[in-house]
Amino acid sequence: MFKFLLLAALALCSVSTQADGASDSATVVLTEGAGRLDISRHLTYYEDVSSSLNISDVIQRWPEIGSGQLPDEAYNFGFTDSAYWFHTRVENRSSPNNRWVLEGLYPIIDEMELFVVTEQGRFTRQISGDSVPFTMRPRDHHNINFELMLPPGDSADLYFRVKTSGAVQMRMLLWHSDVFAQADHQERFLLGLYNGLLVSMVIFNLLIFISFRDTNYLWYVSYILTYGTLQFTLNGLAFEHLWPELPWWNNRAVAFLIAAGMFCVLGFSRSFLALWENAPLLNRVFKAFMAFFVVAGAAALLSPEYGPVIRLNTFVAAVAVALVIAAGGVCLYRRFRPARYFMVAWTALLSGMLLYTLKTFGVVPANFVTEFGIQIGSAFEVILLSIALADRLRHMNLKTQRMQQEMNERLESRVAERTSELEQVNRQLEALSSTDGLTGVFNRRYFDTRLAEETARTRRQGPMALIMIDVDHFKAFNDDFGHLAGDACLRQLADMLTAIVRRETDIVTRYGGEEFAIILPYTDADGARHLAETLRSKVEGEMKFTWDGKAIPVTVSIGLATIPSGSRVEPDEAIAAADEALYSSKQAGRNRVTERQLASSGPKASGQALTELLAGRSGNE
């Protein structure tokens, strides 16, 4: 979730990228077409354990102290207290450009010095790093950079001295100055989009918190803020734009933000997953880790030794991340619904990290997706977590609605003992609920309201259709397997109906008992007929209902009433037509669709149709 994962990964593995046109020799050769060269594999090195050598000592002794062999990939010495010296030679054989830029791709190195030694033995010194004032950099750029003047025909020896409390990583690029400016422009555009996404998510979720006062959103906002600031610091943009005159703070910001960020991650995960209910033991472990990161954040600011603090923070953060993933897996195993999005979000981030790592080892090619894998993965993670919060809020609302429904049922059993005032309160509570407590779809009350609205609309514009669905032989089903099995069957059927009927305007309701009704606004006869047949066939072929380990076939009979645009049809008339079609399906052998098309009629015709239907039912029964 946090880019400290990248910090930990880079501290344990090295980075390799193929050079664009560079050879494998110790000398970097500049030709006419050279624009960007990876010189990481052209460096030899020496570890100065005592950090006592100066440039004169190094130049004089390099033939005997230099490593002599070139690396297969960029150097990565992890966390170390030693100073490291690196050397390469650059020859401008045929490039007309004499202005070049050296870029270090690990921006949180404390100090990196460059000594350029000419053929005449003179040398110049430049210094950069996240503990050096930003104004000392040759270019205003978030990565460590140096300028190199090398006219055609000249050559120079480059000596780098690296001293840092963090990891020593030596991924170096040599750029044509114009190519560097163009690449920097494109990179800043992409980083701007990415950081803009983070800012928009902060504002959006902060507004939701203000509206709903759900602490999960406050934890999420704090997580994105610390995450975004940590990324801004890790890639050097914070030092460039936020605190260029505060190298002391910039040097300690990573350790502090790792601690603050992990505190927020653990707090958000603990709250989102409701660990006090779903995993009480993990909840106590999370609290202990959160207490540790409070102390670690203070130590990052107050401790005189920065190196041990960032190493400890990075290690414990990696352990805490594994703990968060384990907590999500436990909650998912225990069927805590919001944990699904939570784990998908983490998977997106880890997938992005995996792509980036595979790219660095040359397993997959370098392209936009692999180069920005971590940013892409974390962007999806942020979006998915926001969706997860919305889904969790919806889930809690549904749970509240079910609780309200149960309360209503308990109140109904005491209606005879209550006063008229309590009866009024009960009716108000019932009016608040529009969801069927058993199946989770809309209930009969909501159906009646919306059907009246849609039949009125049909008089003015657009056709509509009404589908009535009845589970075949449901009474025998309950008698054979029990009402619990019947309830489970209805819930599964409701889930299937809502999965198939996806238009936002369509309304799936439980009409009563084992009957469901679907209102289809703006749907002509062909579309309604196709949907009804799809529902019937999918229930028959794909609804795999099992009870006590036994597979039980389920089929439905469907009645369809279609209403052309401009028809004056009353709600009762539409129900009567769909009900008549449903009973025709049952009489014809069940597991089929029967259609009735309504033309314009008035209240009298509606009442007559309903009377005839009831008479027909009485005769059939």
Q: Which of the listed residues 366, 394, 422 is the one where a domain comes to its end?
A: 394
Q: How does strand 36-38 pair with strand 172-176?
A: antiparallel
Q: What is the pLDDT of residues 203-233, one digit of tens each?
A: 877 887 787 777 877 888 888 888 778 877 7
Helix axes 339-360, 373-412, angle to 10 degrees: 170
Comparing 26-40, 378-392, 441-455, 503-517, the range with the smallest average pLDDT is 378-392
CATH number at residue 278: 1.20.1070.10
Q: Do 147 and 215 reside in the same domain of the chain?
A: no
- In-domain check, residue 419: no
> CA triplet 593, 594, 596: central angle to 5 degrees?
140
Task: Answer whether residue 274 shows pLDDT above 60.
Answer: yes
Task: Answer whether residue 268 shows pLDDT above 80.
Answer: yes
Which residues form the catalytic set? 514
Residue 35: the pLDDT is 80
- In-domain check, residue 5: no
Q: Do 110 and 237 reside in the same domain of the chain?
A: no
Q: Do 24 and 145 reside in the same domain of the chain?
A: yes
Q: Do 386 and 447 reside in the same domain of the chain?
A: no
- In-domain check, residue 4: no
Say which residue, 423 or 351, is predicted with more confidence: 351
Q: Do 519 and 561 reside in the same domain of the chain?
A: yes
Q: Do 609 and 511 reside in the same domain of the chain?
A: yes
Please state the rounded mean pLDDT for residues 504-510.
92
CATH number at residue 452: 3.30.70.270
Q: Do 113 and 239 reside in the same domain of the chain?
A: no
Comparing 292-296, 341-345, 372-376, 382-386, the range with the smallest average pLDDT is 372-376
Which of 147-161, 215-229, 246-260, 420-434 ranks highest by mean pLDDT? 147-161
Q: Do 386 and 451 reside in the same domain of the chain?
A: no
Q: Do 164 and 27 reside in the same domain of the chain?
A: yes
Q: Are 35 and 176 in contact (CB under 8 A)?
A: yes
Please state the rounded mean pLDDT for residues 249-256.
79
In three state form, how does the secondary structure of 218-231 look? HHHHHHHHHHHHHH
Q: Which two tokens stand for residue 430?
A: 């019932």
Task: Answer whether residue 335 shows pLDDT above 90.
Answer: no
Q: How does strand 83-92 pair with strand 27-30?
A: parallel
- In-domain check, residue 401: no
Residue 419: band (very low, low, confident or very high) from pLDDT cuts 50, 70, 90: low
Please state the rounded mean pLDDT for residues 349-371.
61
How many structural domains comprise the chain? 3
Q: Whole-prediction pTM value?
A: 0.45
Task: Answer whether residue 33 shows pLDDT above 60.
Answer: yes
Identify the domain containing residue 333 by its residue range. Answer: 183-394
User: Tokens 């009629």 appear where?
Assistant: 601
Q: Are 578 and 557 in contact (CB under 8 A)?
A: no
- In-domain check, residue 143: yes
Residue 380: band (very low, low, confident or very high) from pLDDT cuts 50, 70, 90: confident
- In-domain check, residue 329: yes
Half-sphere exposure of 616 (CA within 13 A, CB side): 15
Residue 78: band (very low, low, confident or very high) from pLDDT cuts 50, 70, 90: confident
Residue 429: the pLDDT is 62
Please state the rounded mean pLDDT for residues 272-294.
91
Q: Which of the listed residues 379, 394, 409 is the one where a domain comes to its end?
A: 394
Task: Answer whether residue 176 shows pLDDT above 50.
Answer: yes
Cα 222 to Cα 519: distance, rounded to the nearest angstrom:
43
Q: Which of the listed residues 180, 213, 236 is the one where a domain comes to its end?
A: 180
Residue 358: the pLDDT is 60
Q: Do 512 and 614 reside in the same domain of the chain?
A: yes
Chain centroid offset of residue 105 CA: 27
Cα 98 to Cα 105: distance, rounded to the nearest angstrom:
22
Residue 96: closest CA among 182, 29, 32, 155: 32
Cα 296 to Cα 255: distance, rounded to the nearest angstrom:
8
Q: Are 475 and 573 in contact (CB under 8 A)?
A: no
Handedness of CA 255, 348, 383, 376 (dihedral sign): positive
State the alpha helices, DSSP H only, in 460-511.
474-481, 483-500
- In-domain check, residue 429: no
CATH number at residue 27: 2.60.40.2380
Comparing 81-90, 390-399, 602-611, the range with the smallest average pLDDT is 602-611
Say which residue, 462 or 243, is predicted with more confidence: 462
128 by Cβ neighbours in 10 Å (0-12 / 13-18 / 19+) ranks as buried
* Mean pLDDT (the chain, rounded): 80
Cα 583 to Cα 586: distance, rounded to the nearest angstrom:
5
Task: Answer whether residue 3 shows pLDDT above 70.
Answer: no
Residue 469: the pLDDT is 95
Q: Do 453 and 472 reside in the same domain of the chain?
A: yes
Q: Do 144 and 31 reside in the same domain of the chain?
A: yes
Residue 410: the pLDDT is 74
- In-domain check, residue 428: no
